[in-house]
């Protein structure tokens, strides 16, 4: 079936080679494994296109620059490799994980012994939230775990060190909800563990600005543009849990989640407790956009 793969038949790109997944291995001395020293991108393919491929590659290279990691490929070569990995897996719709680590070094913290970065790419199926969640919305909680401060590890760096978010995700799991909201150190709404957050109040759409310390989400930016094109006032503005609890609508954006309504936060019902009309419109606009945008897999 198109886009579906039997697990062990996957072809993985790793350091210049395309290998069967059983043969695609990295060293136990890789600093990505030893220290979370590396970066990644989660990318979707829709309808034979790598959605926002350029934006994902640009973000990867910006993160690499921030952590002084040299990617041993040009942006064009990364784009070709993403296309080739999809082609070799016969993937037209799915999820692509692109990872660059500091590479193989010794047991010391210093990356000086890591002479060349490890690059790998997996093109796979995606596990989505259940369809009914897109219609009915989902409950979330606020995690006690605060989002990393930008002065510690800037959340704009999509690094392999996701413990901050995983600890919050564990709290979501314990509470029996799919996602957790993370606040900044100062208690301002930041983002969820793998999604950006938006609220709507009296027809105006608000989302936290990047400088509070969040990932500069590609779905976030796409939705901001689509909303503005539809004539909505979108403001990147700080807000608190109070504003969130009293919003008319709330939704999350992310490569995996797309646009998904939040209908309760910490057991406060948001708006009418359903996927609201503006969220519905934005989801439809987003899904239409995924069909036409991106690097063609050919
Ligand atoms: N914030 C954080 C912290 C993220 O990790 C997003 C926002 C959304 O960004 P994009 O560019 O995708 O619109 C992410 C996305 C998952 C998962 O399984 C999500 C992400 C990474 C790994 C897994 O939901 N990142």
One digit per residue, pLDDT tens: the chain, 298 residues?
444 454 568 999 999 999 999 999 999 999 999 999 999 999 999 999 999 999 999 999 999 999 999 999 999 999 999 999 999 999 999 999 999 999 999 999 999 999 999 999 999 998 888 889 998 999 999 999 999 999 999 999 999 999 999 999 999 999 999 999 999 999 999 999 999 999 999 999 999 999 999 999 999 999 999 999 999 999 999 999 999 999 999 999 999 999 999 999 999 999 999 999 999 999 999 999 999 999 999 9
Kindly report the number of other CB atoms within 10 A of residue 82's CB atom. Answer: 24
DSSP 8-state secondary structure symbol assigned to residue 117: -
Question: What CA dihedral angle connects 62, 147, 252 and 181, to 10 degrees?
Answer: 170
State if residue 175 touches ligand 1 by the CB under 6 angstroms criterion: no
Q: Residue 47's CB: how many other CB atoms inside 10 A? A: 14
pLDDT at 128: 83
In the reported structure, the alpha carbon of residue 113 is separated from the centroid of ligand 1 by a whole-number distance in angstroms of 30
Whole-number Å distance, alpha carbon 67 to ligand 1 midpoint, is: 19
Residue in 76, 81, 70 with CA at minimum distance from that of residue 16: 81
The conformation of residue 50, written as its DSSP 8-state character, comes to E
CATH of domain 2-124: 3.30.470.10
Quote the pLDDT of residue 294. Answer: 95
Distance, in Å, from the CA atom of 259 to the CA atom of 222, rounded to the nearest integer, reads 11
Q: Quick one: which atom of ligand 1 is closest to the CA of 97? A: 22
**The CA-based dihedral angle spanning residues 256, 79, 216, 96, taken in that order and rounded to the nearest 10 degrees:** 20
Listed as own residue / partner, the contacts of 288-292 with beta carbons closer than 8 Å and 24 or more positions apart are 289/222, 289/226, 290/44, 290/46, 290/47, 290/51, 290/258, 291/46, 291/47, 292/47, 292/49
pLDDT computed for residue 126 by the predictor: 86
Cβ(297)–Cβ(83) below 8 Å: yes
Q: Is 222 in the pocket of ligand 1 (CB under 6 A)?
A: no
Q: How far apart are the first and last CA of the chain?
A: 18
Cβ of 258 less than 6 Å from ligand 1:
no
180 neighbors 204 (Cβ within 8 angstroms): no
The domain 133-289 belongs to what CATH superfamily? Answer: D-amino Acid Aminotransferase, subunit A, domain 2 (3.20.10.10)
Give kind and range of the element (H or E) at residue 288: helix 277-290
Indicate if ligand 1 lies below 6 Å from the C-beta of 55: no
Contact 92, 3 (CB under 8 A): yes
Q: Which of 98, 146, 194, 222 to mutate to test the pocket of ligand 1 (most atoms within 8 A of CB)?
A: 194
User: Ligand 1: does its nearest atom lie under 6 Å from the Cβ of 191?
Assistant: yes
> For a substitution probing ligand 1, which of 215, 216, 220, 225 has the most ligand atoms within 8 Å of its CB?
215
Q: In the chain, what are the domain boundaries? A: 2-124, 133-289
- Which residue numbers are catalytic? 158
pLDDT per residue as tens digits for the range 224-278? 999 999 999 999 999 999 999 999 999 999 999 999 999 999 999 999 999 999 9
41: Cβ below 6 Å to ligand 1? no
């Amino acid at each position: 079936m198109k886009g579906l793969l039997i697990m062990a038949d996957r072809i993985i790109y790793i350091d210049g080679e395309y290998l069967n997944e059983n043969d695609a291995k990295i060293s136990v001395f890789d600093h990505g494994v030893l220290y979370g020293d590396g970066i990644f991108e989660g990318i979707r393919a829709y309808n034979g296109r790598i959605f926002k491929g350029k934006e994902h590659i640009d973000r990867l290279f910006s993160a690499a620059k921030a952590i002084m990691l040299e990617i041993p490929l040009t942006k064009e070569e990364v784009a070709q490799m993403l296309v080739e990995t999809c082609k070799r897996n016969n993937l037209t719709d799915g999820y692509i994980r692109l990872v660059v680590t500091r590479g193989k070094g010794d047991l010391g913290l210093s990356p000086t012994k890591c002479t060349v970065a490890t690059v790998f790419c997996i093109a796979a199926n995606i596990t989505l939230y259940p369809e009914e969640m897109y219609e009915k919305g989902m409950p979330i909680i606020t995690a006690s775990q605060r989002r990393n401060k930008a002065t510690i590890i800037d959340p704009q760096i999509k690094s392999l060190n996701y413990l901050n978010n995983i600890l919050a995700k564990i709290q979501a799991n314990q509470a029996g909800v799919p996602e957790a909201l993370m606040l900044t150190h100062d208690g301002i709404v930041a983002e969820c563990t793998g999604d950006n957050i938006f609220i709507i109040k009296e027809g105006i759409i608000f989302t936290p600005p990047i400088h509070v310390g969040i990932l500069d989400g590609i779905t976030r930016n796409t939705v901001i543009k689509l909303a503005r094109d539809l004539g909505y006032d979108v403001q990147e503005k700080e807000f608190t849990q109070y504003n969130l609890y009293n919003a008319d609508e709330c939704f999350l954006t992310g490569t995996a989640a797309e646009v998904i309504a939040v209908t309760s936060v910490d057991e406060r019902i948001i708006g009418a407790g359903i996927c609201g009309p503006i969220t519905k419109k934005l989801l439809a606009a987003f899904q239409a956009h995924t069909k036409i945008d991106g690097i063609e897999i050919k």
